[in-house]
Amino acid sequence: MATSLDDLLARVDSLNTPDAAYRHTVVGSSIVVADPADPEYALTAALDGASRTFTITETKPAQPTGPRRFEAGGIYNASKRVGLRGHMPQRRRVKENLLAFLERAEWKRAR
């Protein structure tokens, strides 16, 4: 049987670890995952307690517009790789962990 909304929201704090950059918080009947150091990114799971379903919304930083500039080395430039290392894969892992948490509680994703 699916976990009730109140019980599910009470367990959200268990997703937070002291060394994790992303924090899971409850806002109303939603779970919001955000990194205080990156205020432009947020992952929100809006929960529907009646049907035991959820929808995921991801807010990402705006992509730059205008002509693209190409620099020597591109993505192979060591200084650029350092800035990319671990950030996007970490967001994917955070999303996968949130989905797994909700699925273990037997909540279904609304399509």
Q: What is the pLDDT of residues 78-106, one digit of tens each?
A: 555 555 444 556 888 999 999 999 999 99
DSSP-derived secondary structure for 50-98: TTTEEEEEEE-PPPP-SS----TTGGG-HHHHHHHTTHHHHHHHHHHHH
CA 101 – CA 79 distance, rounded (Å): 36
Per-residue pLDDT tens digits for 19-31: 888 999 999 999 9
When pLDDT is averaged across residues 44-51 and rounded to a whole number, the result is 95
